[in-house]
Structure 1
Amino acid sequence: MIDKHEELLAGLDDIDWAALSHAYGSAHDVPGQIRAVCGSDEDAREGAFNRLFSNIFHQGSRYSASPFAVPFLARIAMAGPPAARVRTMWLLTRLAVDWYDEYDVTVGINTAGWRAAAAETSPEDFLPWYEEQLATATDAERRTELQEIRDWVAAGNSPDARWSALQSYDAVLAELPGLLALLDDDDPSLRTRMSYLLAWFPEVSAATLPRLLDLARNDKDPVAAATALLAAGLIGPRAVATDIAPHLDSPDLLMRWAAATALIRLAITDDEPFDPACLDRAVTELAAAAAGRGPERVTDYAEGDFHWHIERTLHSLPSPASPLAKQTHPSSPTPASTTPVVRAALEACLPRIARDRSGRRTRAAVKELFPAPQPRPQLRYAEMSVAQRELLYGLAHHEHAWVIRSSAEQLRNAGLPDSQESLREFTGPHLTAPHTTPAEPTTPAEPAAPAEPAEPADRLTP
């Protein structure tokens, strides 16, 4: 342990960690792992991070030990070893919000709905039920099982993941006043991580929104600035659109993308009318970004999958018959952008699969681009559309072969090769025909006519 960091762990041993739990049982090992994160041994730190990312945070689940670790992690993020600070911020973010941004990147987090659901699922709510079941159970094996669960609930655990996750979320919320100093840190990675974290805490937006807007205006790092700008759009009220809209004219693609995404979020999460010209411009910018290559550096939203983020945002636009569509475009039968514009943008996003945690995106892309029934005999690769070729070529050379395996059935149903090896043989070493994806645009796109968007996405409730 480095002595100068010892004070960051004051009180660590005052907690009865053995009485708390994580994914693998007793949390007695957590304090040692936190110490290793704060230590000077790089290998030990790496191992400790790996264990913490799988025990106090395990595939999205949080446990009774998770919120107790948060204050110490916050101190390390603020003043710990330089090599530990950025990754500690990522762990704090995951303890707070899991992967919810992946599921609904357009409207932000619904903390009110989360709190309402969690209020009815505390350990105190479940304990009487388990005690009643235990009192009436006669089968010995069943009694043993109930006793174990009853004791686990009595120790402060809830069978409902929403309650457990909220405890960690609120623990991070309590640390935000101190963590806000990271918005001024010399390390742009820490400014970026802090901005991203604030995107999921709308309840403190009165304090954080001005800081995020200032960072978006003045930060020289494009990823930090874009992350802050979209965070402002995710937590801000409708009025913040006046601060965000000027960034549609930014020379930087990532900033225009963040501004457009933020404005669409503001347009769809309020019943009040929204400037139709501003919304059209935002949709036009996203459509232009969808047709091109993503930027070299991206934000953490949607796990850094630039085109998936665009796809999700365009899918959140209101249907033509919705009240919001009538408000934003009262004299037009279709809101936001013309049908060809949105459809072309969505099709352009489909084959660009950078990340796909469950394979759902890949399966949807195959189904969309190769609808049944397919022609017989199947078209040759060179005869397919650009989007079809890009998808198959991308899968043939994707770094994660399991993505293809998870979509094998959909590929077979479409009469396509269903393994990465056979896809490589089918597509060849290069895309056939010139690749039509243009280079990253350097100037904002011109506004286009309005169009019909896709079906709206539900607002997030963890």
Structure 2
Amino acid sequence: MINEYEKLLAGLDEVDWAGLSHAYRSAHDVPGHIRTLCGSDDEAREQAFISLFSSIFHQGSRYSASPVAVPFLARIAIAGPAAAREDTMWLLTRLAVDWHDEYDVTTGINVIGWRAAAAEWGPEELLPWCEEQLAVETDPEKRAKLQETRDWVAAGNSFDSRWWALQAYDAVLAELPGLIVLLDDDDARLRTRIAYLLAWFPEVSATSLPRLLALAAHDKDLVTAATALLAAGLVGPPSTVEDITPYLDAADPLMRWAAATALVRLAGLDEAPVGPDLLGRAVTELTAAAHSTFDHVTDYFEGDLHGHIERTLHALPTTSGPAAAREALDACLPRIARDRSGSRTRKAIEQLFPAPQPDPAPRYADLTVAQQQLLDNLANHQHAWVIRSSADRLRQLGLPCSQEALQSFVGVHRTA
């Protein structure tokens, strides 16, 4: 351990980690992984992150050890080794909001609704149920299991994943007064990470909103500025429209996209000053973005900017819904290279290739522009498993059915 970081881990060994759980039961190994984050061995640090992501945050699930780890991770994000800070911030973000930041990407997170749903399965609600079951159970073996369950619930545990996720969210919420200092960090990646995290904490918007708007206005890093601008639009009240609207005329298209996206969200709020003309400008900008290829994207919707545009357009008020944005939706359809879930990819394949190709197959140049774009995106898809999962359907359609074959097909015909 490097001594200068020892103070960040004060209290780490005082936690009863063995009494906490993660995806692989006992969390006794968590303090060792956290300590490794502050070490000088890069390879060991990388492995520690992998272990933490797969244990206290396993495929989106959180456990009793998850919120307890948060204060130590927050200290590392603020003042830990440079090599550890960004990944630590990403782990904190995933612990707090995964996957709310994907599902609620166009509206902002509904913490009130989340709290209400989680409370139904919190320990206070579960404990009476456990005791009722114990009161009527006569089988000794079943009673022993029920007693164990009752004691576990009485210790502050729940069976519901939403409840555990909320505990991690609240643990990060408690650390935000310290983490917000990262908005002034010299590292643009850390400024971007905290701006993105703040997008999902409307509870602190009174403090975060002016800071986010200032970051959007003055930060020299484009991705940081765009991230902050959309974050402001996700946590801000209706009056934020006045702050966001000027960015529809920004020089960079990513800033215009962020402004248009934010305005669609704000238009859905009661008494928001977003009339038909302003909403029309936002849709026009999203349509332009849908036709474009971006060199830089934000973390919203896993970086799938075109998927984000599609979600945003479907969230339009009824009078300006998807029918009015058909051109933009059509332009987004084949842009699936960043599609993480595979749903957009499958939809695009079915809609753009509704029937098998004739034999012999048409030349690349004879395909429609949208079909060409889809094959280009398939060839350069960032999630290879999505192509593998679609291989059978591609084969049935008479299309190249592996990423290598797609790259060859697209490459050959591009130069033909």
For the criterion TM > 0.5, the same-fold answer is yes
String of CA shifts for 1:23-44, please: whole Å, max 9, x gaps.
1101111111111111222122
1:297, distance to aligned residue in structure 2 (A): 2.0
1:349 to 323, 326, 332: 332
Aligned to 2:8: 8
State how far apart, in whole Å, the 1-side matches of 2:24 and 2:156 are.
16
1:394, distance to aligned residue in structure 2 (A): 2.4
Consecutive unaligned residues in structure 2, runs of 5 or more: none
The SS at the match of 1:40 is coil
Aligned to 1:19: 19
String of CA shifts for 1:1-28, please: whole Å, max 9, x gaps.
1111111111111211111111110111
1:263, distance to aligned residue in structure 2 (A): 0.8
1:215, distance to aligned residue in structure 2 (A): 0.6
The SS at the match of 1:288 is helix
String of CA shifts for 1:131-172, please: whole Å, max 9, x gaps.
544666678987777566555434432111111111110111
Aligned to 1:386: 369
Aligned to 2:243: 243
Aligned to 2:306: 307
- Greater shift after overlay, 96-105 or 259-268? 96-105
String of CA shifts for 1:76-126, please: whole Å, max 9, x gaps.
111111111111111111110013222231111000100111111112322
Kept in 2, the 8 Å contact 1:92–1:172? The answer is yes
Q: Describe how 1:359-370 pairs up with structure 2 within 5 A.
A: 359-370=342-353
State how far apart, in whole Å, the 2-side matches of 1:425 and 1:62 are.
39
State how far apart, in whole Å, the 1-side matches of 2:404 and 2:137 are.
56
Aligned to 1:104: 104
Counterpart of 2:25 in structure 1: which amino acid?
G
State how far apart, in whole Å, the 2-side matches of 1:417 and 1:273 are.
49
String of CA shifts for 1:350-371, please: whole Å, max 9, x gaps.
2211333331111122233234
Aligned to 2:385: 402
String of CA shifts for 1:175-222, please: whole Å, max 9, x gaps.
111111111111111111010000000111011100000111111111
State how far apart, in whole Å, the 2-side matches of 1:168 and 1:384 are.
49
State how far apart, in whole Å, the 2-side matches of 1:422 and 1:250 are.
39
- Greater shift after overlay, 356-365 or 143-152? 143-152
String of CA shifts for 1:256-281, please: whole Å, max 9, x gaps.
11111111111123355622221111
- Greater shift after overlay, 86-95 or 388-397? 388-397
Counterpart of 2:343 in structure 1: which amino acid?
R
**Using a 3 Å threshold, how does the CA distance of structure 1 residues 71 and 219 change in structure 2: closer, same or farther?**
same
TM-score by length of 2: 0.91
Consecutive unaligned residues in structure 1, runs of 5 or more: 320-324, 326-334, 435-462
The SS at the match of 2:411 is coil
- The sequence identity of aligned pairs, in percent, is 65
State how far apart, in whole Å, the 1-side matches of 2:410 and 2:140 are.
62
TM-score by length of 1: 0.82
Residues 1:260 and 2:260 aligned together: yes
More helix, by proportion:
2
1:244, distance to aligned residue in structure 2 (A): 0.8
Counterpart of 1:314 in structure 2: which amino acid?
L
String of CA shifts for 1:392-432, please: whole Å, max 9, x gaps.
3322443533212323455466x343721695399442455
Aligned to 2:341: 358
Kept in 2, the 8 Å contact 1:283–1:337? The answer is no
1:344, distance to aligned residue in structure 2 (A): 2.1
**Using a 3 Å threshold, how does the CA distance of structure 1 residues 142 and 233 change in structure 2: closer, same or farther?**
same
Residues 1:424 and 2:406 aligned together: yes
Q: Describe how 1:366-377 pairs up with structure 2 within 5 A.
A: 366-371=349-354
Name the Cα RMSD after superposition: 2.7
**Using a 3 Å threshold, how does the CA distance of structure 1 residues 366 and 2 change in structure 2: closer, same or farther?**
same
**Using a 3 Å threshold, how does the CA distance of structure 1 residues 369 and 42 change in structure 2: closer, same or farther?**
same
Counterpart of 1:242 in structure 2: which amino acid?
E
Kept in 1, the 8 Å contact 2:241–2:274? The answer is no
**Using a 3 Å threshold, how does the CA distance of structure 1 residues 310 and 153 change in structure 2: closer, same or farther?**
same
State how far apart, in whole Å, the 2-side matches of 1:377 and 1:142 are.
65
**Using a 3 Å threshold, how does the CA distance of structure 1 residues 350 and 212 change in structure 2: closer, same or farther?**
same
The SS at the match of 1:429 is helix
In the alignment of these two chains, the number of paired residues is 415
The SS at the match of 2:13 is helix
The SS at the match of 1:387 is helix
Aligned to 1:228: 228
Counterpart of 2:100 in structure 1: which amino acid?
Y
State how far apart, in whole Å, the 1-side matches of 2:98 and 2:316 are.
25
